Amino acid sequence: MRPTRLPARSCGVKTVLPAPLTMWQYEMMMAVSIRGLVLAGGRSRRFGGVDKAFIELRGKPLWQRAVSQLAPQVDAIAISSNDRTGRFASCLQDFSGSIRYRTGGAGPATVAVVPDLIAGSLGPLAGIHAGLSAWPECYVATVAVDLPFIPPNLIERLSAGLDRGRCAYPSDGVRHALALLWAPGSAAGLAAFLERGGRSVRDWLAEHGDPVWFTAPGDADLFFNINTPADLMVAERRLQGRERC
């Protein structure tokens, strides 16, 4: 899931961005339940067909790393996957760690697996639609499983982009990352987009998304994703460097 280069005209990056939420608006958003969805339904062609979600980075599978990074920012979390082998269910059952959610409480790592509701393997938007449908009254943060560097304040920062659009996304002015924050009630609009043939995340964002600037030092890591074995090696080196520090 390589970060997509967005034409400035179509994505609106050069237009006036929505003003940050006032404190009371942000507190109101945080008072509503927030759910997290890790998108793990890709086919991993550039990894030779190996399920990318189970590839290990520093001894931890990518799905587990994504869950661990997103969980402290949400109230519950699930994995979007159409896996019919039962592999996810088995791994989740054996996962003996615990998840600390944004409320500060710790609980057993009982992570649900959410399959697509719309048949046809329509891509990440179909997985997102299933998550939005499962939690129609919640804010939903959706992140790709191959993003190894999810910042701890992702949702807080993306909340500034929910003033106008149905979802907010990080942008550096050229690229976007598949790490989106969706407002409650977004499922119907996304379903209509899919039904009329829409498949591209970029096209959806051009019509319904608002960019949020991620250009501070260290933000570039969010736009790095693991598509190939070479990308995995780069991520390994970056994490090794952080551990030394």
The pLDDT of 13-38, averaged and rounded, is 57
CA 169/CA 166 separation, integer angstroms = 10
The CA distance from 244 to 58, in Å, is 14
Q: Per-residue pLDDT for 16 more than 60? A: no
Count of structural domains within the chain: 1
pLDDT over 70 at 148, yes or no: yes
Residue 99 has pLDDT above 80, yes or no: no
Percent of the chain clearing pLDDT 70 (strictly above): 78
- Given a cut of 60, whether residue 28 has pLDDT beyond it is no
Q: Which residue has the tokens 């269910």?
A: 89
CATH code of the domain containing 114: 3.90.550.10
Range of the domain at 43: 4-244
Helix (H, G, I), strand (E, B) or coil at 6: coil
Whether the pLDDT of residue 170 is over 90: the answer is yes
Q: Specify the length of the chain in residues.
A: 245
Angle subtended at Cα 73 by Cα 130 and Cα 154, rounded to the nearest 5 degrees: 90
Q: What is the mean pLDDT of the chain?
A: 82
The pLDDT of residue 17 is above 70: no
Lowest mean pLDDT among 154-158, 160-164, 205-209: 160-164
Per-residue model confidence (pLDDT) at position 216: 93
What is the model's pLDDT at position 240?
86
H or E element: which one contains 170?
strand 167-171
Q: Are 226 and 238 in contact (CB under 8 A)?
A: no
> Using CA atoms, how far apart are residues 193 and 134, in angstroms rounded to an integer?
18
